[in-house]
Chain A
Amino acid sequence: MTLVRRYWLESVALVLITLSVFRSMTVAADVTQGDVQRLMYVHVPSAWLAFLAFGVTVVGSVAWLRTRDLKWDRVAASSAEIGTVFTGLAIVAGMIWARPVWGQFWTWEPRLVTTSLLFFIYLGYLALRRAVLDPIQRARRAAIMGIVAFVQVPIVYESVNWWRSLHQTQSRNSIDTPLRITLLFAVIAFTFVYAVLMRRRLELARIEAEIEDRQSVDEPELAGAGITAPTLEEVGPGA
């Protein structure tokens, strides 16, 4: 009982994901695409989760700039990491889905191109974080980039409407009710997975910050640091 109470979020996420997988495997398949359409229950929630994660990165970045509390920087960074992973998953799931439906893994299709660029934008954000060693400096620079990078998210979302191409428009109005309910359920389950991953990643980030703090305190003195420049008294006329 204590374990369930301690891991209640993980438990809920596990139950929801299990039910979601079961539901997505048993719901009627799309008449035209057949079973391959079931990839939608991974592809769309992954994309949704990426958007959510990048939105949380913006919130964390703005909150850091306002409060200067490093907790918010950790929220922004953790969420960006998760978002990048799920952007990658959305791309891969989309490519696997595209192969039988469009006849190829990759087409120069606006949604694919903009999503891939979104992936690289957040890789850049993570690379920026790695390049700065000082935690405060890192938080400042990353917060600015975290806000600016979000500009790409509405472009990815709207790309299917702006450039009518192979990719279908948003699924909410274009699919039958049983499929829509299954998709909604998968989105909810993935959101709980995000919450679990965020909780774990934040714990890890807090531990990393503590280690970083201790290392900076326990840092051994540089070789030669004990040697000081001669003072005037030492080299004066009497010396």
Chain B
Amino acid sequence: MSFWHQVFEISRKDLLVEARTAEVLTMTAPFGAVALILIPLAVGTDAPLLSQLGPGLYWTIVLLFGVLIILRKSAVDGPAQRDFVRLLGIDPAARFVGAVVATATLMLVFEILLAPVVLALYNPDVRGWGWLLLILPLVAIGLGLLGTIAGGVTTSLGTRTSLTPLLIVPLSLPLLMGATQALEGLRLGRGIGNWLVLLFAVDLALAVSGVLAARPLEEAIS
């Protein structure tokens, strides 16, 4: 089986599990939407203020609640599942890339589901929204990569549910900054090239680190 076929099968397996439970669709996304409804009650329902805060809050919710998607993945993959995949002779790098593809896809779905909620509740300035077609996948891939690496190093630890968010959230700063500043740049009519380069560079750095670390990671969780 070729490398990319292995990647396809691994991501298909993860997405099939999600399709059966529909956790992102029926639990995580509504939870994120509830948070977006609650925030204005805490900071005030001033329409111009909310319009300004909307994009930033959207990305914050994507990041914080996205951690739930990452944790879900590492909870589903128990020792028996990992051993089975290992015995099948799947390349560790293919396992890593497959897991990233699945997590990034779920993250992208989560982003797409939350976007109309922000539009409806916060009425943000949507100038240059076409760029979201590039920004949303770049952030989803970055979070998928970061989540797969952090989920990997915390697999089977008793403190996994507390430790994984602590590892992911501070490290996702460049993704959060890239996404928010790009939207801010679009709103103000500035160039956003540098922010897209930042997002791309972070994704690339994480992808290279993740693929190189895939084998040691595999050994670490064996």
Contact = CB atoms under 8 A, between A and B. Distances in A.
Interface stretch (B18-26, B41-49, B57-65, B214-222): B214-222
B179 interface: no
Interface string B159-187: 10001001100110110000001000000
Interface string B193-222: 010000000100110010001001101100
Interface size class of B (residues with CB under 8 A): 20 to 34
Main secondary structure of the interface of B (DSSP, over half): helix
B183 to A, nearest CB: 15
Interface string B15-39: 0000000000000000000000000
Interface in A103-148: 113-114, 117-118, 120-121, 123-125, 127-128, 131-132, 137, 140-145, 147-148
Contact of B170 (A147, A152, A162): A152
B220 A141 contact: yes
B11 interface: no
B63 to A, nearest CB: 12
B144 interface: no
Interface stretch (B77-85, B123-131, B147-155): B147-155
Contact of B213 (A125, A132, A147, A155): A147
A65 interface: yes
A92 to B, nearest CB: 18
A162 B166 contact: no
Given A140-B219, A141-B220, A148-B149, A131 B157 contact: yes
Interface size class of A (residues with CB under 8 A): 20 to 34
A121 B216 contact: no
Main secondary structure of the interface of A (DSSP, over half): helix
Contacts of A132: 157
B169 to A, nearest CB: 8
B216 A148 contact: no
Contacts of B189: none
B89 interface: no
17 contacts: A65-B213, A120-B170, A121-B171, A132-B157, A140-B219, A141-B154, A141-B217, A144-B152, A144-B153, A144-B213, A145-B149, A145-B167, A148-B149, A148-B171, A148-B213, A151-B205, A155-B174
Given A140-B216, A140-B219, A152-B171, 19 more contacts: A114-B173, A120-B166, A124-B163, A124-B166, A131-B157, A131-B163, A140-B217, A143-B213, A143-B216, A144-B153, A144-B213, A145-B167, A148-B206, A148-B209, A151-B174, A151-B205, A155-B174, A162-B194, A163-B181
Interface of B: 146, 149-150, 152-154, 157-159, 163, 166-167, 170-171, 173-174, 181, 194, 202, 205-206, 209, 213, 216-217, 219-220
